[in-house]
Amino acid sequence: MTKAQHIDWLLSLADDALILGQRLSEWCGHAPALEEDIALSNIALDLIGQSRALLSHAGRLEGAGRDEDRLAFFRSDREYRNLLLVELPNGHFGDTIARQFFYDQFALIRYTHLAQQTFDSEVAAIATKALKEVRYHAAHSAEWMIRLGDGTELSKARIQESVDRLWPFTGECFQEHTILDAAIASGAMPDRSRAQNTWNESVGAVLNQATLTKPEGSWKQSGGRDGLHTEHLSYMLAEMQVLPRLHPEAKW
Amino acid sequence: MSNQSPDWPLWEVFVRSRQGLSHKHVGSLHASDATMAIANARDVYTRRQEGVSIWVIPAEAISASSPADKDILFDPANDKVYRHPTFYKLPDEVKNM
Amino acid sequence: MDENERGMEPYLCGESFHAMDLNQRFEDYIAADQKIEAKDWMPDEYRKTLIRQISQHAHSEIIGMLPEGNWITRAPSLKRKAILLAKVQDEAGHGLYLYSAAETLGANRDDLMDALIDGRAKYSSIFNYPTLSWADMGAIGWLVDGAAIMNQVPLCKCSYGPYARAMVRVCKEESFHQRQGFQIMLNLSEGTDEQRAMAQDSLNRWWWPSLMMFGPNDESSTHNEQSMRWKIKRFSNDELRQRFVDMTIPQVELLGLTVPDQDLKWNESTGHYEMGPIEWQEFFDVIAGNGPCNKERIAARKKAHRDGDWVREAASAYAQKMNAKATSNQTHAA
């Protein structure tokens, strides 16, 4: 992996966490129950924490004086490297849970590998901590998938619809990509097909327990890793970045 | 509307703050079942490293002594001071017992 | 009286079951600074007052999430975002501790929540003001939470055990809230001209509403006296307000800002600041539902709750299915 590739790879890890954390933080104060409000905020906090550590690391590696905030607030949507999945709007609680579930299962596989790889020891340290968090997130989203799937008729219909709609966005997790391929070749990322198999198995098992149908379609929406996003990301960044952009010389 | 199905039941939460200490009642919360209750208790009551273990118990499963019986239940122990080691005077020569 | 008490009645005949004795015992407890616990006998009025006060307090925490939640997605740094999110999350936690305390008195959280979203319940008026700039996150933490702490610290010693214990927890967590707010103000006041102006503007808007948080002047407050006697309330509105002003003005000076009160002056002989008159009409207008954001806040709360109905129902339905399964498994095993 070249240094530029290394940085891009770090940004892809960081951006997944930051964008999903930002999305989840929109729930704060609006969740279906107080207990769930606290749970979603906790997950958002974990994700933002992961992104900060990864962005700082990327900035240091780059050596151009960009810190976590510079990277978060002064990159355009075209420079963001996150999966399309994580930038999709929250929708209803079921949409949020399905999105989280698909991502958590992916993050679990990815962080498990990141914690063990020796290519980047700083990432290994971040991943070791993150893995504990992600295990909890994965349990949380799976428990909810099961409750919504095997709950009422209404909830089953809604969550199945969420699953079907989000499904095309899951393929991007395992898609071929120059930078990620370089990372895989360096041992920094898990083997693609093995990771995808593991993901398919664990996602299938939970959907099965949730009495839901696993979609068959193989069409993939992608582009996020190259900065080609959905229409939603630019709006999200406009909101997220407004203050630092308006007051570029200010410290907060 | 929420009145069509039963509201989430109330759970009492007990947290062990450190290995070696017993679980202590910290409060309550609502959850649909025990798994969710434990997850919620973790988020609600241990956000600041307050615990290493959690018990949740359906509030309705707790039987309590009646406060009105405080006198008959607990006062009779008042005059049984001989249950406490300090009741016994020992000669000074006995240093440790 | 619950089943237990009824079952034990014969043993207690002619002893302490007389209503007057119970009341006397209750009063003695209060006088001796003993805590009243959930299942202890208590006068109906004491129970009602507590449910009203605790639920209003809980509602305030929950509604209070909204004005600050408004800026989570726009926090100007990732650190600030995390702090603010953790803070607003704490408020959900505080609401939850307090609803729990109210439930020990026989109230039901869903009923309390219904009262809130139907507009029947009160909550702190301060949250009906809009948050218009990032500096408001500072001012709310510093002034609003500061005023809240002033109100709340004495409640840690309130006569009702579950409320007092919930408040101990709340107060411990609140002190981080106030500090993060002050730090935001400090950063702004040391920042660019625009940031300093933002801080001053925010102080101008939040100062009076913060002073109003202590409630009406003592002579016009309706619940004061009985609540003081029952040790549900331990200091008067005016006492706490004065304490807040005395504590806050030096901090305002440290920030290099000024409060929007031309009459404010230090009184050497009393050792207190004198403040100008409060516009109580505004306070009562906001309480009456005419604040800038009353309708929005309740609508947001109502939407969250209604949008969550199907989710809570699904979880309940799943739990019922699992219970039924467990029961039928047991039957088969036997």
Task: Return the half-sphere exposure (C-beta side, CA atoms, 13 A cut-off) of residue A38.
Answer: 25
Residue B3 pLDDT more than 50? no
Query: Do C319 and B32 lie within an 8 Å CB cutoff?
Result: yes
Q: Kindly provide the ipTM of the predicted complex, given to two decimals.
A: 0.97
d(CA A99, CA A119) in angstroms, rounded, equals 30
B92 in A contact zone (CB under 8 Å) = no
Find the helix or strand (DSSP H, E) in which A32 lies.
Answer: none
Q: Testing the interface with A: which of B32, B35, B36 to mutate, by most A Cβ within 10 A?
A: B36
Contacts of C239 (CB under 8 A, 6+ apart): none
pLDDT value of position A110: 98
Q: Using the beta-carbon criterion (under 8 Å), do C312 and B27 form an inter-chain contact?
A: no
Handedness of CA A37, A42, A43, A48 (dihedral sign): positive
A64 membership: H or E segment, kind and range: none
Q: Between C328 and A113, whose confidence is greater?
A: A113
CA angle, residues C85, C194, C264, in degrees to nearest 5:
85
pLDDT per residue as tens digits for the range C201-234? 999 999 999 999 999 998 877 667 788 888 888 8
**Per-residue model confidence (pLDDT) at position A117:** 97
CB contact under 8 A, B5 and C322: no
Q: Do B66 and C2 touch (CB under 8 A)?
A: yes
Nearest to A192, CA basis, from A179, A203, A205: A179
Q: Which residues contact C124 (CB under 8 A, 6 or more apart)?
A: C56, C60, C63, C64, C148, C213
With bands split at pLDDT 50, 70 and 90, how would you rate the model's confidence at A85? Answer: very high
User: How far A230 CA lies from chain B's nearest CA (Å)?
Assistant: 33
CA neighbor of C139 nearest in space, from C71, C193, C57, C192 = C71
Q: By the 8 A CB rule, do A172 and A224 touch?
A: yes
- Contact assessment for residue B65 and residue B37, using Cβ atoms and an 8 Å cutoff: no
Torsion, Cα A131 A137 A142 A145, to 10 degrees, reads -150
pLDDT digits (tens, 9 = 90+) for B60-85: 999 888 777 777 778 888 888 888 88
Per the CB < 8 A criterion, the answer to whether A90 and A96 are in contact is: yes
Percent of chain B that is helix, strand, coil (3-state, to 5)? 35, 20, 45
Which two tokens mark A44? 């958002």
Tell me the backbone φ, ψ of residue C206, rounded to 5 degrees: -95, -15
Buried/exposed A229-249: b ≥16 CB within 10 Å, e otherwise: bbeebeebbeebbebbeebee
Among B8, B32, B40, whose Cβ lies nearest the Cβ of A39? B40
Picking from C117, C141, C143, the residue whose alpha carbon sits closest to that of residue C63 is C117
List the 74-133 stretch of A: residues with Cβ below 8 A of C: 92-94
pLDDT (tens digit, 9 = 90+) per residue, A167-186? 999 999 999 999 999 999 99
Q: Which of these, C243, C247, C234, C241, lies nearest to C217 by C-alpha position? A: C241
Q: Nearest Cα to A17, choosing from A70, A78, A87?
A: A87
Give contacts of A140 with chain B, Cβ < 8 Å.
39
**Residues within 8 A of A (CB atoms), C 69-98 only:** 69, 72-82, 85-86, 88-89, 92-93, 95-96
A52 CA: distance to closest CA in chain B (Å): 20
Supply A89's token pair.
């709007």
Taking CB atoms and an 8 Å limit, are C311 and A155 in contact across chains? Answer: yes
Determine the Cα–Cα distance for residues A243 and A235; give it in Å rounded to an integer. Answer: 14
Q: Which helix (H) or strand (E) holds A243?
A: helix A231-246
Tell me which CATH code domain A3-214+222-246 carries. 1.20.1260.10
CA C179 to chain centre: 18
pLDDT in tens, B35-66: 999 999 999 999 888 899 999 999 999 988 87
3-state secondary structure chain C: CCHHHHHHHHHHCCCCCCHHHHHHHHHHHHHCCCCECCCCCCCHHHHHHHHHHHHHHHHHHHHHHHHHHCCHHHCCCHHHHHHHHHHHHHHHHHHHHHHHHHHCCCCCHHHHHHHHHCCCCCCCHHHHCCCCCCHHHHHHHHHHHHHHHHHHHHHHHCCEHHHHHHHHHHHHHHHHHHHHHHHHHHHHHCCCHHHHHHHHHHHHHHHHHHHHCCCCCHHHCCCHHHHHHCCCCCCCHHHHHHHHHHHHHHHHHHHCCCCCCCCCEEECCCCEEECCCCCHHHHHHHHHHHCCCHHHHHHHHHHHHHHHHHHHHHHHHHHHHHHHHHHHHHHHHC
Locate A205 and state its tokens. 């098992």
Stretch 52-91 of chain B: residues touching chain C, C-beta under 8 Å: 63-69, 71-72
pLDDT per 10-residue tile (average), chain C, 334 residues: 37 52 88 90 94 96 96 98 96 95 94 93 94 98 95 92 95 91 97 98 97 90 77 87 97 97 96 95 90 94 96 96 90 73
Prediction pTM value: 0.92
Kindly tell me if the per-residue pLDDT of B4 is higher than 90. Answer: no
Residue indicated by tokens 């001012």? C139
Average pLDDT score over residue span A39-59: 98
Region label for C258, one of left (φ > 0), alpha (ψ between -120 and 50) or beta (otherwise): beta
CB–CB contact C16 B68 (8 Å)? yes
CA distance C285 to B7: 35
CA atoms of C287 and C126, how far apart (whole Å): 9
Comparing C-alpha atoms, which of C36, C64, C61 is closest to residue C49?
C36
For chain A, what percentages of helix, strand and coil (3-state, to nearest 5) are there? 75, 0, 25
Element (H, E) at B12: strand B10-16
What is d(CA B10, CA B37) in angstroms, rounded to the nearest whole number?
9
Q: Which two tokens stand for residue C180?
A: 């993060």
Instruction: Mutate one of C306, C310, C316 to test the A interface: name it (highest A CB count within 10 A).
Output: C310
Q: Looking at residue C18, what is its pLDDT?
A: 67
- pLDDT tens digits for range A8-23: 999 999 999 999 999 9
Question: Within 10 Å of residue C33's Cβ, how many Cβ atoms?
Answer: 9
- Cβ contact A31–C73 (<8 Å): no
Q: Give the chain B residue whose CA is nearest to the CA of A136.
A: B39
- Which chains sit next to B, with 3 or more Cβ pairs under 8 A? A, C
Select from A35, A42, A139 the Cβ nearest to the Cβ of B31. A35
Cβ distance of A30 and C194 shorter than 8 Å: no
A30 contact residues in C (CB cutoff 8 A):
69, 300, 303-304, 307
A215 DSSP 8-state letter: P
**CB-based burial label for C16 (10 Å; 0-12, 13-18, 19+):** middle
How far is residue A31's CA from residue C89's CA, in Å, rounded to a whole number? 11
- Point out the residue among C8, C39, C315 whose CB comes nearest to the CB of B64: C39
B38's CB contacts (< 8 A; 6+ apart) are B54, B56
Tell me whether C310 touches chain B (CB under 8 Å).
no
Chain A neighbors of B35, CB-CB under 8 A: 143
Q: Is C3 on the interface with B (CB under 8 A)?
A: no
SS3 for A71-115 is HHHCCCHHHCCCCHHHHCCCCCHHHHHHHHHHHHHHHHHHHHHHH
The answer to whether the Cβ–Cβ distance between B43 and A139 falls below 8 Å is no
Indicate if the alpha-carbon torsion angle A24, A30, A33, A38 is positive or negative.
positive
For residue A137, the chain B residue with the least C-alpha distance is B39
